[in-house]
């Protein structure tokens, strides 16, 4: 019995021992087979070179898939930083961000490009010049006219090319027009060199800008004074319906309060007076607010008219020959 | 006495009738946060009372966006009770008037409304 037990124990021990010995061999064999399978699978190796990577990015860009395009351009810059097209790719990253409406990212991309490839006296066809212009455009899209103007100022300081300077002066002039800083705008347009005066139609632009005196303007003080009679200020701002409503509303409430006090009902009179005081002050507020809205709209209309008749559309889109020039003239 | 009660009733009616419904809240704000902060502010009780009980029966008839009561809540929140009250009164007088022709339009629930938020009336400060 004891021998039997010992024999079975011995057999089991022997079996486990054999298994343990075989285990590394089995593991090694399975790994080798797996590796052999992986290695055997790809029959062709694809090596992506710089032009292929750039083509892919350009394809995404042309199809309007700016998010992917920006990613592919970034991959290009990462894998081929020394490629002569890296500068172009960096610019396109900014442009893809701009086109997809990510203006803050666009500004960051253009700043990066300028910092890396800045050279003294760069000309119009260089990427830093274009980046400066697009950076200014991006800021304008963010409604930040100050930084937009600063970008153009920096471009003017850094470039040695007259064409680039004139372009920057022209754009800066329009930024000043947008903000209603007419004098500064005139100064910017005046800085454009004589060789480019006709290109930017500066004489006509300046003469049209002179007509800014004809922009109808209402006075807030007058609106306030007229509002002493309820609705008077609104009438002054050519808001006839609002004026009538304000007049009737205030008149009814004032008469009600008067009647209440006249009949010795002070509680009612006070209540109506409290309500009326809000409407009476609201009448002043509305009049002054309407003046500001009126003046803003008048200025906006003048700027739109000025743009339609004079503004040359300039695109800092990279073409091999430089800038695309579009002129629109309203008859 | 009857005459005085009638005048009082007329005054309240005038104020309430011009105030418009306020189911549409500012699009940029989350529903929960707006309601919580509004309920916490006692200055907004009258506007909330109107929105909760009267507006539901009265129906959404305001041609402006945000509606007059929402505008009132926004202006009081932004500028305090005094200026908020003045801005509300100004808005009530302008509601459905010339502003409809002058301001941009916004489509809410398939209906065109005149877009006139608080920011369009305090930009000149």
Chain A: residue nearest B16 by CA?
A275
Q: Mark yes or no for CB contact A282/B87 under 8 Å.
A: yes
| Partner residues linked to B105 by β-bridges | B114
Vertex A72: Cα angle to A69 and A73 (nearest 5): 85
pLDDT for res A98: 96
**Could you give the C-alpha distances from B123 to A55, A223, A271, B70, in angstroms and in order?**
48, 17, 32, 18
Provide, as residue numbers in chain B, all residues whose Cβ is less than 8 Å from the Cβ of A239: 97-98
Handedness of CA A162, A167, A173, A179 (dihedral sign): negative
Chain B: residue nearest A245 by CA?
B93
Q: What do you get for the CA distance between the two ends of chain B, in Å?
A: 46
Provide, as residue numbers in chain B, all residues whose Cβ is less than 8 Å from the Cβ of A279: 89, 92-93
Taking a C-beta distance cutoff of 8 angstroms, is the pair A195, A162 a contact?
yes
Q: Which two structure tokens, joined as six digits, stand for B8?
A: 């009082």
Question: How far apart are the C-alpha atoms of A136 and A107, rounded to whole Å?
Answer: 8
Provide, as residue numbers in chain A, all residues whose Cβ is less than 8 Å from the Cβ of B91: 282
pLDDT for res A30: 64
Rounded to 5 degrees, what are φ and ψ at B103? Answer: -90, 160
Q: Mark yes or no for CB contact B93/A275 under 8 Å.
A: no
Higher pLDDT among residues A138 and A5, named by residue: A138
Of the candidates B10, B15, B86, the beta carbon closest to that of A282 is on B86
Higher pLDDT among residues A44 and A145, named by residue: A145
- Give every CB contact of residue B15 below 8 A, 6+ residues apart in sequence: A275
Q: What is the mean pLDDT of residues A62-77?
A: 94
Among A272, A282, A296, the strongest candidate for a mutation testing the B interface, having the largest count of B CBs within 10 A, is: A282
Provide, as residue numbers in chain B, all residues whose Cβ is less than 8 Å from the Cβ of A281: 86, 89
Of the candidates A252, A271, A282, the beta carbon closest to that of B93 is on A282
pLDDT for res A121: 63
Q: How many CB atoms lie within 10 A of CB B117?
A: 19
Taking a C-beta distance cutoff of 8 angstroms, is the pair A153, A139 a contact?
no
Q: Which two structure tokens, joined as six digits, stand for A29?
A: 């064999």
Mean pLDDT taken over chain A = 86
3-state SS class at A323:
strand
- H-type helices in B1-125, by residue range? 2-18, 31-40, 45-49, 55-58, 68-94, 99-102
| Locus of tokens 């800085």 | A191
ipTM over 0.90: no
- Span A89-133, pLDDT tens digits: 999 999 999 999 999 999 999 999 999 887 766 777 789 999 999
CA A175 to chain B, closest CA, distance in angstroms equals 20
- Span A126-157, pLDDT tens digits: 899 999 999 999 999 999 999 999 999 999 99
Q: Mark yes or no for CB contact A293/B7 under 8 Å.
A: no
pLDDT tens series, chain B, 125 aa: 555 555 555 555 444 444 443 334 443 444 444 444 555 577 788 888 888 888 888 777 888 999 999 999 999 999 999 999 999 999 999 999 999 988 999 998 888 899 999 999 998 88
Query: How many percent of chain A have pLDDT more than 70?
Result: 85
Q: What do you get for the CA distance between the two ends of chain A, in Å?
A: 120
Q: Mark yes or no for CB contact A289/B10 under 8 Å.
A: no
pLDDT for res A295: 94
Q: Mark yes or no for CB contact B97/A275 under 8 Å.
A: no
- Give every CB contact of residue A280 below 8 A, 6+ residues apart in sequence: A230, A250, A254
Query: Residue A137 belongs to what H/E stretch?
Result: helix A127-141
Among B83, B98, B123, the strongest candidate for a mutation testing the A interface, having the largest count of A CBs within 10 A, is: B98
Handedness of CA B121, B123, B124, B125 (dihedral sign): positive
Question: How far apart are the C-alpha atoms of A193 and A183, rounded to whole Å?
Answer: 18
Interface check B17 vs A, CB under 8 A: no
- Span A181-191, pLDDT tens digits: 999 999 999 99
3-state SS class at A191:
coil
Q: What is the mean pLDDT of residues A221-243?
A: 95
Q: Mark yes or no for CB contact B99/A242 under 8 Å.
A: yes
Q: Mark yes or no for CB contact B123/A241 under 8 Å.
A: no
Q: Mark yes or no for CB contact A245/B121 under 8 Å.
A: no
Q: Which two structure tokens, joined as six digits, stand for A12?
A: 């089991």
Interface check A254 vs B, CB under 8 A: no
- Span B34-55, pLDDT tens digits: 444 555 577 788 888 888 888 8
Interface check B16 vs A, CB under 8 A: no
Taking a C-beta distance cutoff of 8 angstroms, is the pair A157, A151 a contact?
no
Taking a C-beta distance cutoff of 8 angstroms, is the pair B22, B69 a contact?
yes
Question: How far apart are the C-alpha atoms of B120 and B65, rounded to whole Å?
Answer: 11
Helix, strand, coil share of chain A (percent; to 5):
75, 5, 20
Chain A: residue nearest B14 by CA?
A249
Provide, as residue numbers in chain B, all residues whose Cβ is less than 8 Å from the Cβ of A245: 93-94, 97
Q: Mark yes or no for CB contact B11/A272 under 8 Å.
A: yes
3-state SS class at B71:
helix
pLDDT at A319 over 50: no
**Could you give the C-alpha distances from A67 to A49, A79, A322, in angstroms and in order?**
22, 19, 25
3-state SS class at B122:
coil
**How far from the centroid of its chain's Cα atoms is residue A88's Cα?**
21
Decide: residue A210, CB within 10 A, 0-12 exposed, 13-18 middle, 19+ buried. Answer: exposed
**How far from the centroid of its chain's Cα atoms is residue A285's Cα?**
34
Q: Mark yes or no for CB contact A268/B85 under 8 Å.
A: no
| Locus of tokens 């351009």 | A73
pLDDT for res B87: 95
Interface check A242 vs B, CB under 8 A: yes
Of the candidates A265, A275, A281, the beta carbon closest to that of B11 is on A275
| Locus of tokens 């396109």 | A92
């Amino acid at each position: 019995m004891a021998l039997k037990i010992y024999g079975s124990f011995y057999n089991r021990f022997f079996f486990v021992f054999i298994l343990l010995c075989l285990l590394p061999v089995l593991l090694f064999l399975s790994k080798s087979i797996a590796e052999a399978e992986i290695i055997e699978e790809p029959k062709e190796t694809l090596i992506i070179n710089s032009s292929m990577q750039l083509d892919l990015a350009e394809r995404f860009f042309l199809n309007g898939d700016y998010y992917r395009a920006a990613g592919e351009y970034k991959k290009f810059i990462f894998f081929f930083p020394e490629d002569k097209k890296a500068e172009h790719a960096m610019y396109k990253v900014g442009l893809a961000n701009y086109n997809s409406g990510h203006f803050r990212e666009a500004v960051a991309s253009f700043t990066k490009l300028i910092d890396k490839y800045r050279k003294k006296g760069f000309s119009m066809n260089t990427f830093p010049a274009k980046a400066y212009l697009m950076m200014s455009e991006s800021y304008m899209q963010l409604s930040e006219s100050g930084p937009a103007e600063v970008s153009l100022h920096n471009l003017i300081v850094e470039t040695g090319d007259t064409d680039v300077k004139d372009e920057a002066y022209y754009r800066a002039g329009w930024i000043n027009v947008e903000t209603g800083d007419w004098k500064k705008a005139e100064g910017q347009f005046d800085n454009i060199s004589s060789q480019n005066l006709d290109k930017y139609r500066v004489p006509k632009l300046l003469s049209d800008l002179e007509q800014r005196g004809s922009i109808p303007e209402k006075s807030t003080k007058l609106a306030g004074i007229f509002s002493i009679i309820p609705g008077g200020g609104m009438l002054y701002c050519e808001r006839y319906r609002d004026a009538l409503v304000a007049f009737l509303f205030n008149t009814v409430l004032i008469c009600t309060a008067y009647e209440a006090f006249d009949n010795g009902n002070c509680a009612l009179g006070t209540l109506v007076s409290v309500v009326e005081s809000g409407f009476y002050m609201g009448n002043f507020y509305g009049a002054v607010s309407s003046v500001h809205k009126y003046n803003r709209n008048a200025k906006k209309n003048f700027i739109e008219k000025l743009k339609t008749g004079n503004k040359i559309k300039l695109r800092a889109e990279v073409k091999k020959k430089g800038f695309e020039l579009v002129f629109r003239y309203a008859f | 006495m009857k005459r005085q009660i009638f005048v009082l009733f007329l005054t309240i009616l005038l104020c309430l009738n011009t105030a418009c419904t306020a189911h549409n809240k500012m699009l940029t704000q989350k529903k929960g946060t707006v309601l919580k902060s509004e309920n916490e502010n006692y200055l907004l009780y009258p506007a909330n009372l109107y929105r909760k009980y009267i507006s539901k029966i009265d129906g959404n008839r305001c041609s402006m966006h945000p509606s007059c009561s929402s505008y009132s809540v926004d202006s009081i929140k932004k500028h305090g009770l005094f200026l908020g009250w003045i801005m509300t009164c100004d808005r009530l007088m302008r509601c459905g008037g010339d502003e409809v022709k002058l301001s941009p339009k916004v489509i809410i629930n398939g209906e065109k409304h005149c877009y006139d938020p608080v920011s369009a009336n305090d930009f000149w400060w």
